[in-house]
């Protein structure tokens, strides 16, 4: 049975890593196994680990080949990165162009930086790079894959992708001598109705070279000279009309920064070297969007019915009187309207010897006096009474009243689509009898966000403000051209 240390050595060979498994890391793990085996006296494990150590470079390349062919040139690898990013840019929908613009920007900056750093070494193969340089390419590949995954679910936060790319850019900047743009702004180009000029700024390393041609920004076929240039920052003031515009829908637009450096040639008359960095922006349309409101209103309704009880009979023979009480309740869900209650005598008879005139019956029907009438219960007394022993009397009576049932009726009111304007707030009133309100915002034609006063959504370029005092929701356009 193999010892745990030996099992660990075997598992090392079988391991599949998401990132490149470089020989250096293999060696560190195998040396650790050797130390454990030596401590416990397992010669077979030590021998196996030594073999692993001898072939660590081969094992490392076997893992690397799953991602990058060691024989590929730097030129081909960078071209593959560019092709992947170009595909992602082409496939990006509105949601991705809005929520992932920073991820696209830093990923693009990463590829640009690799191109600049290896401008004179594009024919080198991957296996000719040192470990730090290989790791940069591995990390770049990882960043592009993360962007690819994020575009499938653009509602998710891409902060980790941006942080990862920023870290790799810093790594490249630590060893290359070439200029680098590590970040640039804005992320979004606002509509022409709000902007006359766009301030494009970039930060990085080694951006200033005063002895050569001034830095330029190319948009389409138009060149713009820098308005600000230091070793770590670069600025341009560009007319908004230089960028594209549309009534609805977002688009990506690229621009190119040209930096100039001394030629690597031997001759003094050699042309300055041109270093290019591509920038990527999301251009916002003239129309911010639209919104609809679905409001559920609750109204009180009543159903009024006549309540007529059965007749109650009271009979007294031989003089004296009798009282027959009876109590009534309305059907479930109904209540008596106390203002409409009546005790009704439906029949009144009497006799005395052969006289059948009702006059000898002094009885009557009334609401019971010693019982409080409530909406849920009312009692009556039916009384028959005579003043002589040879007399008899019969009284019939009943309760009549209006009974009322109160119930809720919910109706849904759907508003027509309303325009969201970049320059003004939209006010949505909440009716007092509203029990639910759903606000659907459609940005740029096809980016939908749904929320309510109690559950405000996060909407790019729009603040969802529930004002309790006015019992209203305000959709306030936000003019923020830098991605959060």
Q: Which residue has the tokens 């079988």?
A: 14
Q: Which residue has the higher pLDDT, 100 or 397?
A: 397
DSSP 203: E
pLDDT for the residue numbered 338: 97
DSSP 174: H
| Cβ-based neighbour number of residue 150 at 10 Å | 21
pLDDT tens profile 15-74: 333 333 333 334 434 444 444 444 444 545 445 444 444 444 433 333 333 468 888 999
Q: Is the pLDDT of residue 176 over 70?
A: yes
pLDDT for the residue numbered 252: 94
Q: Which CATH class is domain 179-286?
A: mainly beta
pLDDT for the residue numbered 208: 79
Q: Is the pLDDT of residue 267 over 60?
A: no
Cα dihedral 280→216→190→459 (10° resolution): 30
Q: Which residue has the higher pLDDT, 348 or 355?
A: 348
Q: Which residue has the higher pLDDT, 264 or 132?
A: 132
Q: Is the pLDDT of residue 94 over 80?
A: yes
Average pLDDT, whole number, for the chain?
84
CA 209 centroid distance within chain: 45
Q: Which residue has the higher pLDDT, 15 or 428?
A: 428
pLDDT for the residue numbered 166: 85
Q: Is the pLDDT of residue 12 over 70?
A: no
Segment 258-265 shows an average pLDDT of 72
Q: Which residue has the higher pLDDT, 343 or 44?
A: 343
With a pLDDT cut of 70, the percent of the chain lying above it is: 82
CA distance 5 to 93: 51
Q: Is the pLDDT of residue 268 over 60?
A: no
Mean pLDDT is lowest, of 172-176, 184-188, 385-389, 462-466, for 172-176
Asked if 317 and 392 touch (Cβ cutoff 8 Å), the reply is yes
Domain ranges of the chain: 4-64, 179-286, 289-297+409-477, 300-408
Q: Is the pLDDT of residue 421 over 90?
A: yes
pLDDT for the residue numbered 31: 42
DSSP 73: B
DSSP string, 115-145: HHHTTT-TT-BGGGS-HHHHHHHHHHHHHHH
Q: Which residue has the higher pLDDT, 63 or 91?
A: 91
pLDDT for the residue numbered 260: 82
Q: Is the pLDDT of residue 78 over 50?
A: yes
pLDDT tens profile 429-451: 999 999 999 999 999 988 999 99
Provide the β-strand partners of residue 205. Answer: 180
Number of helical (H) and strand (E) elements in the chain, helices listed first: 9, 22
pLDDT tens profile 189-228: 999 999 999 999 999 988 876 566 789 999 988 999 999 9
Question: Highest-confidence range of 122-131, 155-164, 295-304, by mean pLDDT?
Answer: 295-304
Tell me if the bond preceding 42 is cis, omega within 30° of 0.
no
Segment 376-384 shows an average pLDDT of 98
Domain over 300-408 is classified CATH 3.30.390: no
The predicted model scores a pTM of 0.70
pLDDT tens profile 292-325: 999 999 999 999 999 999 999 999 998 899 999 9
Asked if domains 179-286 and 300-408 share a fold, the reply is yes
pLDDT tens profile 383-397: 999 988 889 999 999
Q: Is the pLDDT of residue 146 over 60?
A: yes
């Amino acid at each position: 049975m193999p010892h745990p240390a030996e099992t660990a050595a075997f598992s090392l060979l079988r391991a599949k890593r998401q990132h490149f498994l470089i020989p250096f890391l293999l060696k560190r793990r195998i040396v650790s196994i050797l130390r454990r085996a030596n401590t416990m006296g397992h010669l077979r494990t030590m021998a196996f680990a030594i073999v692993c150590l001898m072939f660590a470079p081969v094992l490392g390349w076997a893992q690397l080949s799953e991602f990058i062919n060691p024989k590929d040139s730097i030129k081909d690898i960078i071209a593959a990165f560019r092709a992947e990013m170009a595909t992602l840019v082409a496939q990006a929908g509105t949601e991705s162009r809005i929520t992932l613009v920073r991820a696209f920007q830093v990923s693009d900056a990463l590829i640009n930086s690799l191109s600049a750093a290896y401008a004179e070494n594009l024919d080198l193969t991957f296996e000719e790079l040192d470990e730090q340089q290989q790791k940069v390419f591995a990390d770049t590949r990882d960043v592009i894959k993360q962007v690819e995954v994020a575009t499938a679910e653009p509602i998710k936060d891409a902060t980790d992708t941006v942080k990862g790319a920023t870290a790799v850019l810093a790594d490249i900047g630590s060893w290359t001598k070439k200029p680098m743009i590590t970040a640039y702004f804005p992320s979004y180009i606002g509509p022409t109705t709000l902007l006359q000029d766009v301030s494009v700024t970039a930060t990085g390393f080694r951006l200033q070279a005063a002895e050569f041609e001034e830095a330029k920004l190319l948009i389409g076929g138009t060149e713009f000279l820098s308005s600000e240039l230091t070793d770590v920052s670069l600025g341009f003031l560009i007319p908004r009309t230089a960028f594209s515009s549309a009534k609805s829908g977002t688009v990506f637009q690229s621009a190119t920064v040209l930096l100039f450096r001394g030629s690597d040639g031997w001759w003094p008359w050699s042309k300055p070297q041109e270093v290019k960095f591509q920038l990527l922006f999301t251009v916002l349309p003239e129309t911010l969007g639209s919104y609809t409101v679905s409001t559920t209103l609750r109204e009180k309704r009543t159903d009024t019915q006549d309540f007529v009880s059965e007749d109650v009979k009271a009979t007294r023979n031989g003089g004296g009187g009798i009282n027959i009480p009876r109590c009534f309740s309305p059907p479930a869900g109904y209540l008596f309207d106390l203002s409409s209650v009546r005790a009704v005598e439906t029949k009144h008879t009497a006799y005395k010897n052969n006289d059948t005139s009702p006059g000898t019956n002094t009885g009557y029907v009334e609401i019971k006096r010693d019982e409080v009438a409530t909406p849920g219960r009312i009692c009556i007394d039916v009384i028959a009474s005579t003043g002589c022993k040879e007399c008899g009397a019969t009284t019939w009576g009943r309760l009549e009243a209006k009974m009322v049932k109160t119930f809720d009726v919910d109706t849904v009111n759907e508003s027509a689509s309303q325009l969201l304007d970049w320059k003004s707030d939209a006010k949505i009133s909440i009716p007092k009898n509203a029990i639910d309100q759903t606000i659907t915002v459609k940005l740029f034609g096809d980016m939908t966000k749904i929320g309510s006063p109690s559950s405000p959504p996060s909407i790019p370029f729009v603040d969802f403000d529930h004002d309790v005092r006015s019992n209203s929701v305000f959709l306030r356009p936000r003019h923020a051209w830098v991605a959060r």
